[in-house]
Structure formats: C-alpha cells, structure tokens
Amino acid sequence: MSPKRIYNFNAGPAALPQTVLEEIQKDFLNFKGSGMSITEVSHRSKWFDEVINDAVARVKRILKLDARYQVLFLQGGASMQFAQIPMNFLDDTRTADYVNTGTWSTKAIKEAKLLGKKIQVVASSEDRNFAYIPKNIKFTPGATYVHITSNNTIKGTQWANYPDTGDAPLVADMSSDIFSRPFDASKFGLIYAGAQKNMGPAGVCLVVVRDDLLKLEAQNLPTMLKYSTHAKENSMYNTPPCFSVYTVQLVLKWLEETVGGLDKMAAINQKKADLIYNLLDTSGFYRGTADKDSRSQMNVTFRLPTEDLEKKFIAEATASDMGGLKGHRSVGGCRASIYNATGVKAVEALVDFMKSFEKKNG
C-alpha cells in the first residue's frame, strides 16, 4: 500500500516529484551497487563524481549555458549569497544597482550595506507594500551588476520580463522560480537559487556564474568565500552536501526526461496559475494581493474577507489534505505555492475546495 500523500502547497521546503522520492527510497540503502547509502559514499568516489557531473551537465543543458558559465553547488543557502556576491565583486571603485521588490531583496540590500559596499537602490515597490514589480527603471551607468529577485515568495510577485540593464550584467536570486520557465541566460552574470523551493531539499545552493564576473573577484577573501575556489574544484573543495546535490540531480533528470524540458514545464505552470487566478478574478470572496501584471506563477497570495475566515479556511484545507496554505508570518493571509512538483491535479483540487468554501461561507 502506498503511503498517504497530501497536496503540498508549502513555500519551502516544498514538494518534490513523487517519482524522485520513490527513486531515492529504492536506492537509499544501496546506491548504484556500492553497498552504501548516498549519504555514506565518499564525495571523492566514482559514484558521487557521476552524480555531480551529471547535475552540472543537466543545468547547462536545461538553461542553455555557453562555455563562459561555471555551475557550482554551494552551502549557506541563498542567504549566504546576499553577502558573498558584493564581497567578491565590489571594491572601493565599483558600485552596483539593486531593485527592492520585497523581503529577500531587502535582505540582500542590507547585507551589501553592512559590508560598506557602494550600492544604489534604483527602484522599489515598497510604497505599495511590494505588490508590484517596478517598471521604467533608470540604471546607473557603469554599474558592476544589477541585482534583482526574480520571484517573491512572500508578496506573490514575479518579473514577467527581465529588465534591460545595458552593459551591466544581471545578478538574480532565482530561488523560487528557477527551472520553471525558459529565459535568456546570456543576460545574467550570476544566478543563484536555494534548492528547497523548486529543485531539491534544503542544504545546497545552485550558483551559475559567468567568467567575466569571476575575473573581478577580490583577492583578499577567505578561501571558502571565493567563487573561484569552488569553480576550480568542481564544487568539491570541501565536502559538499552530497544528498542534496543527488536529489537535485534526480529532479533535473525528471524535468528533462519526464516533463520534457522548460517549455513544457512552463506550459504546465501557466495552466496551474491560470486555474487559481481565474478564480480570484471572478470571486467576490477571495482577493489576490499582487497586481495582475506582476503576479507570480509560483506563489499565489490571497486574502479572505476576515482573518477569522482565513483561519477557518486553512484549518479546513488542512483537514482536507491540503497543506502549507498559510501565508508567511510577516504578512498573514493565504498562499498557495505551486512549484514544478505540485501538479495540475493538486491545483484543481484546491480550486474545487476554494469554490466550495466560498459557497458555504460567502
């Protein structure tokens, strides 16, 4: 008998493809005939070499990266990158632009300022509680990079189109929408993404960095904080989080070989988002919190008429095997995170529940 599985709408750590979990379960005690678990094999072994090399190759294929890009698997999560990026690329003569679209952008800005780096917040949507993505931004000529957060899990907004930053490379926190849709990677000097939202379990952060930015790297940094350290050692300067990297590799394999790539994944994600947003737009009971042209396809944030109804909604949804619908503690309300591994069937069940709840309580 298969174990009970709920519909998982958690914002992170979030849902993983069931077939991936089953493959992990099947091979957990004896990985590839090694007689050891993946959590036991040496990171210097042939078994883990195959895992990390395949993961790197799949990232490059899926994102269509050219030879200028290095693919790294680092520790410290995306939050470490808030500091590591300005430490590596900004010195006393360089400056960077930041766009503030919510909590994670705010944290990145805070870390850069804490380090005493010269940065400009060239646009912000704080004036309306981060309900939209800024437009018509004037970037600083000669900026070393422009930092954005591609998708905002807490406020439910997402860049539909990335900004034209001229000669300044984009640096993006893509933790919550990496591998959800195709995009032109050549615009980006660096992409980083914590795994626990859309590509694996917590414990590893994917960093894709272009060679021209690597050449700007500061020389007086601790060894572990230099990107070049990890690029030279294929992310194995020290012991990597082997299990997390292994799971990411399996998720990438699922994305390529089962889903069929980013174009097909994007179509599925569009269908899921449309199902919920169409309900929000036709309901007088539920209210979306993000502007329509800035809505996230990954994190749908909404409110009910009262906080008491929101508590009832979350409790009844949980009792109906729909987990993770409570909004972030900083904003309240409700949130459905519909990452790649949360399928159309789950979203259809949620929409049916929402309609029924509205009929009984509206």
pLDDT band for 1, please (50, 70, 90 cuts): low
Could you check whether the bond before residue 201 is cis, i.e. omega within 30 degrees of 0? no
pLDDT for res 308: 98
Sequence ranges of the domains in the chain: 22-259, 261-361
- pLDDT score recorded for residue 261: 98
DSSP strand pairing (322-323 vs 7-8): parallel
129-132 contacts at long range (C-beta below 8 A, 24 or more positions apart): 129/155, 130/100, 130/101, 130/102, 130/103, 130/155, 130/157, 131/155, 131/157, 131/289, 131/290, 131/291, 131/294, 132/157, 132/290, 132/291, 132/293, 132/294
Residue 136 has pLDDT above 90, yes or no: yes
How do residues 139-155 score in pLDDT, each as one tens digit? 999 999 999 999 999 99
In the chain, what's the furthest Cα-to-Cα distance? 64
What was the pLDDT predicted at 362?
86
Q: Write down the CATH superfamily of domain 261-361.
A: Aspartate Aminotransferase, domain 1 (3.90.1150.10)
Helix axes 242-253, 18-27, angle to 10 degrees: 130
pLDDT confidence band for 2 (50 / 70 / 90): low
- The pLDDT tens digits for 157-209 are 999 999 999 999 999 999 999 999 999 999 999 999 999 999 999 999 999 99
pLDDT tens-place string over residues 30-89: 999 999 999 999 999 999 999 999 999 999 999 999 999 999 999 999 999 999 999 999
Partners of 151 in the β-ladder: 158
DSSP assignment of 59-123, as one string?
HHHHHT--TTEEEEEESSHHHHHHHHHHHHH--TT-EEEEEE-SHHHHHHHHHHHHTT-EEEEEE
What is the percentage of the chain residues whose pLDDT exceeds 70?
Answer: 99
Q: Is the pLDDT of residue 327 over 90?
A: yes
Instruction: Give catalytic residues, as residue numbers.
Output: 104, 173, 197
Residue 3 has pLDDT above 80, yes or no: no
Please state which of the four CATH numbers 2.115.10.20, 2.60.40.10, 3.40.630.30, 3.40.640.10 is assigned to the domain occupying 22-259.
Answer: 3.40.640.10
Q: What's the rounded mean pLDDT across residues 8-29? A: 97
